[in-house]
Chain A
Amino acid sequence: MSSPANTIVVGKKSPRIYSREAVLFGCILLLVLFVIFTAAVSRMYHKKIHVLADNWFDQGEASFRAGDIKSALTDYRNAMVYSPDNAKFQFHLAQALAAAGRGDEGRSYLLNLLSESPGSGDVNLALARIAAHKGLTSDALRYYHGAIYGEWDNDPIGRRWQVRRELAEYLLDRGLQQQAVPEIIALADSTRANDTEQLRVVENLLLRAKLWTRALEVFRTILSANLNDGDALLGAATSAFNLGQYSAALDYFERLPEKDRNASGVAEMYKTAQQINEMNAFLPGLSREAKARRAASALSLSATRLQQCATQMGQSLTAMPPQTQLQKAFAESKDFTADESWQNIAKHPETVDEVMGHAFEMENAAAVACGEPEGADQALWLLGRSREGSAQ
């Protein structure tokens, strides 16, 4: 091997000869200077691109707020050119894409963010909304739960509550009652008793989910704070009505302002509750005579309904032996038809229960054969069902 020191390197012209120490020193000096120069340039560059990125992002935010989604998308994309890894930018771009109905495109950014921070509440929620929008229920549920159990920077309890509410509403909207129930119950459990606004949301969801018992509890909680809260009174009335607690329902209905009470849907319930109350022979405090009158009236009403139903169905109630439910109900109540006057019942107050029982039976048989009754018959039928429910 030739001595490197004496080697003539091939080139256009021979370089000036310096000692190796000098060259090495020069290299290291150059390296230090180059590092300083690069650091300075890089600092200026980063400053510039951060300013550009922030400017574009702010423009995007302004456009988004103004409803100009198209411009917002362009601005967010421009911002991302200068800060491609910025999670905030990616998240806002994804949200803008979702808002523009391009959830699939936004989903990609969100999945990226999710792979970096799988516990992010915001990202999970955004993904859940996209999945919900696309009707991918299992994905939506997964992401909603990810958001509920995920991390939130500000007010984690409040955000989780909101997400669960959104999930419950989504499930109810899709008719997934069974899946909605545990979410609504969890939501009700995590709602503070003194937060009326949240309680209102919960009461609404409970009503939609037909969780009457829980709903009544919530309404009572609200009413304990404000006796005249119209929404709570209405909710409590509805819940009590559906639970068969007609007296309580009537009480709530009557506390409602007249305008609310006469609203569509409410007026019917109120009227029915009133009728039930008027027909109810079991109300405490009624005189023997009043009980007997009510029992006799119920028996007569139900017998008429049974007869009408039998006629409608083309059946003879006197057929022997009784074959159909209508005929059986009629046969069983026949003994009382001999003397169904209230005076007779008043003489034998122990028969009130039996008389009412036969009335309920006949209404039931008619309801099964001819459909749900209306008016006074409906009131009697509902009373019977509530009695049956209480007995069970």
Chain B
Amino acid sequence: MTEPTAVTSPGAIPPAASEPASSASKSGFRAMWENWTSRVFTMREDRFFLFLAVLIGILSGLAVVCFRIAIEWTQIELLGSSLSPTFPRVVLAPTLAGIAVALLVIYAFPRARGSGVNQTKSAVYVSNGYIPFNTVVGKFITCALAIGSGQSLGPEDPSLQMGAGIASLIGRRLRLSQEKVRLIAPVGAAAGLAAAFNAPISAVLFVLEEVIGTWSAGVLGAIVLAAISSVVTMRAFLGPESMFRVPPFRVAKPADLLAYVALGIVGGLASLVFLKWLAYARPRIQSLPRWTQHFQPAVAGLLIGIIGIRLPQVMGAGYPIIDQAMHGQFTWKLLLVLAALKILATGFSFLSGTPGGMFAPSLFIGAMLGGAVGAIEQHFFPALPGTVGTFALVGMGTFFAGFLRVPITSVFMVIEVSGNYTAILPVMISSLIAYGISRSYIKVPLFDLLARQDGLVLPSVEEQREQMILTVEDAMRVDAAMVLERAEKAADAIKKLEGKEGLLSFLRVRPGEWNFIEHSELQRLAADTSQSRTVEEASSKGPLPFVFRDMSLEEALHWAGDWPALPVLSRADLSKLEGVVTLDDILKAFRKVPVA
């Protein structure tokens, strides 16, 4: 596409109706402002979109900074500054905060319920990217209260939704096209998640895998930009440090990786247990009378508080506890107990509809399981490389991959949250095993499952991955065409066609330029008494759009309806015909594939 410079170029945003600039009569600032806005608005929409992505990234980053501070502040005020809150607080804080959260969610911010991932995804696919700003405010307040009071939830998914909400508001206020408003919400989502996790790559991958549900190149640049700007903003206020600090280690022998295979199996089974429990209990909790919603978060808070009397580690997001586990501060027995109780506590919080995310708890559970497996393995095999911390780190990625079914995100997440590249091989192995186990027994990923329970059918990358992508090769016929040269006699061509029913004739004009000739036309020329008429004189259809055998069949379908047949050419030599494909061939190929 040529670079449009004019305002009227296709795809460009028309300038807003403003007075023509007359700099001389205006103040310097106004002239500068108008000059700048004029430049911004006369950008091509995709460039303007990138500019907005940066703006959204910064705003989301700021929102997340405030959100994280709000959570910590609430926690200090409600539970005290110690890791082990005193007895009355540990039970009262989550219970009373649960009542407040329930009232806020029911009467003021009904869309703030849940984690935020599915809500954002449904905003993209159901409400054209519309997320009311009220939801952002609600999410901020209710999550800060819930997580700060000790509910076993995390701040990442809500940050994702807050980012999406901010982006949606900006998109609407700037009256972007409907398509862009739909796309801008994931941009904000990536920014929010990146800032919450201090992990831009994982945020981008997660949004592409889970929220958009497709690897769309059109929005990738904006998502990356937004994620980077939000992380830079967040780091400016909260520091650049990685979330966890684990000493580097080295896998000395390939056999050492077997230790992580065991971790993958344990992580996969644990994620299955958690998923099964949520899948089983959620519809039952949801079917309870509506008035019980007033008390569900409080009951969850009470139960968590009771657990917290003995084991306060399970309360809240639990990042300091993960850090302690990574430094081998717990015995393997305690690690196992903490993992089990965290599954229980997170289930209580999530099922009660308390706003908050599942990322932090799943990292917590994974770290505890990893640490336990590592400690047990190192007890029996003291020569194993790495520390309990290494296993805890890998365990985080493992459980994350099994539970949320985002294996690529989980690998990058582990690297980003620890700043430790040495764990990549173990985390890849164990994550894939956990992912495989989880997928084998529960076909639908967590967020899709929750959406379906809520009556929404949202696109899933996992399902898309399983869909067979048809290419031209699946439909083309190899021996169904005859190539004619321009100087070739029509009579000779007819002779060649004798006895070959259904053969299609293509005239090679020059490399990359092919025409289609009907048999009747060839016969008309061949009937000429002079017998010297060439095929070039025939009336042909073309130049034909050509396709390659590796192109998707959907692409070929765009052209096939307008032409009798499409030549399939070699990518290395556009004068070489490899086959032919018609609309019928394409439809037949599609019919062969079973519908998902």
Contact = CB atoms under 8 A, between A and B. Distances in A.
Interface of A: 1-5, 7, 9-12, 15, 17-21, 23-28, 30-31, 34-35, 37-39, 41-42, 45, 48-49, 52, 56, 74, 77-78, 80-82, 84-85, 104-105, 107-109, 111-112, 114-115
Interface stretch (B237-245, B506-514, B536-544, B573-581): B237-245
B491 interface: no
Interface in B180-202: 180-181
Contact of B178 (A7, A30, A42, A115): A7
Nearest to B56: A27
Contacts of A38: 62, 65-66, 237
Contacts of A45: 69, 72-73
Interface string B336-356: 000000000000000000000
Contacts of B84: 74
Interface residues of B, number: 61
A84 B59 contact: no
A45 to B, nearest CB: 5
B65 A23 contact: no
A74 B16 contact: no
B81 interface: yes
B302 interface: no
Q: Could you say which of B40, B62, B72, B238 has the most chain A C-beta atoms within 10 Å of its C-beta? A: B62
B81 A11 contact: no
A109 B247 CA distance: 9
Contacts of B37: 20-21, 24-25
27 contacts: A1-B10, A9-B172, A9-B178, A10-B128, A10-B130, A11-B132, A11-B172, A17-B175, A21-B33, A21-B34, A23-B174, A27-B59, A27-B173, A28-B55, A30-B59, A31-B55, A41-B65, A42-B237, A56-B81, A82-B81, A84-B241, A84-B320, A105-B329, A108-B247, A109-B327, A115-B247, A115-B248
A4 B40 CA distance: 15
Contacts of A27: 55, 59, 170, 173
Given A9-B175, A80-B320, 7 more contacts: A4-B14, A10-B127, A21-B37, A24-B40, A39-B237, A77-B83, A112-B327
Given A41-B69, A108-B327, A18 B81 contact: no
A194 B295 CA distance: 78
B328 A108 contact: yes
B327 A105 contact: yes
A88 B356 CA distance: 34
A48 B177 CA distance: 45
B59 to A, nearest CB: 6
Interface of B: 10-11, 13-14, 16-18, 33-34, 37, 40-41, 45, 55, 58-59, 62-63, 65-66, 69, 72-73, 76, 81-84, 127-128, 130, 132, 170-178, 180-181, 237-239, 241, 245-248, 320, 323-324, 326-329, 387-389
B387 A108 contact: yes
A84 B128 CA distance: 42
B82 A78 contact: yes
Contacts of B237: 38-39, 42
Contacts of B171: 9
B241 A85 contact: yes
A31 B59 CA distance: 6
A31 B57 CA distance: 11
* Among A21, A25, A115, residue most surrounded by chain B Cβ atoms (within 10 Å): A21
A2 B177 contact: yes
A80 B18 CA distance: 56
Contacts of A23: 170, 173-174
Contacts of B180: 4
Contacts of B83: 74, 77-78, 81
B174 A24 contact: yes
Contacts of A49: 72
Nearest to B181: A9
Pairs of residues from A and B, 10 with the lowest C-beta to C-beta distance, nearest first: A108-B327, A111-B247, A10-B128, A4-B177, A42-B237, A20-B16, A81-B320, A21-B37, A45-B69, A23-B173
Nearest to B64: A38
Nearest to B70: A41
Which of B41, B239, B327 has the largest number of chain A CB atoms within 10 A?
A: B327
B33 A25 contact: yes
Nearest to B63: A34
Contact of B324 (A34, A39, A77): A77
A19 B40 CA distance: 13
A82 B69 CA distance: 12
A131 to B, nearest CB: 14
A70 to B, nearest CB: 12
A4 B175 CA distance: 6
A57 to B, nearest CB: 12
A360 to B, nearest CB: 56
B393 to A, nearest CB: 12
B155 to A, nearest CB: 15
Nearest to B82: A78
A37 B237 CA distance: 12
Nearest to B243: A84
Contacts of A3: 14
B69 A42 contact: yes
A4 B387 contact: no
A34 B170 CA distance: 15
A82 B323 CA distance: 12
A38 to B, nearest CB: 5
Contacts of A39: 237
A115 B242 CA distance: 14
B173 A15 contact: yes
Nearest to B37: A21
A21 B175 CA distance: 11
A5 B14 contact: yes
B55 A52 contact: no
Contact of B45 (A4, A12, A30, A108): A4
A41 B17 CA distance: 39
Nearest to A42: B237
A17 B14 CA distance: 16
Contact of A108 (B33, B41, B326): B326
Contacts of A112: 245-247, 327
A9 B128 contact: yes
Contacts of B59: 27, 30-31, 34
Nearest to B61: A38
Contact of A20 (B41, B65, B178): B41
B128 to A, nearest CB: 4
Interface centre among A24, A41, A48 (most CB of B within 10 A): A24
A26 B248 CA distance: 47
Contacts of B69: 41-42, 45
Nearest to A8: B178
A76 to B, nearest CB: 11
B65 A108 contact: no
Contacts of B45: 4
B328 A105 contact: yes
B71 to A, nearest CB: 11
Contacts of B326: 108
B327 A21 contact: no
B16 A21 contact: yes
B127 to A, nearest CB: 6
B175 A20 contact: yes
Contacts of B238: 42
A18 B172 CA distance: 11
A319 B100 CA distance: 112
Nearest to A80: B320
Contacts of A109: 327
B328 A104 contact: yes
A41 B66 contact: yes
Nearest to A110: B247
Contacts of B76: 48, 52
A23 B14 CA distance: 16
Contacts of B239: 85
Contacts of A52: 76, 81
A81 B46 CA distance: 43
Contacts of B177: 1-2, 4, 7
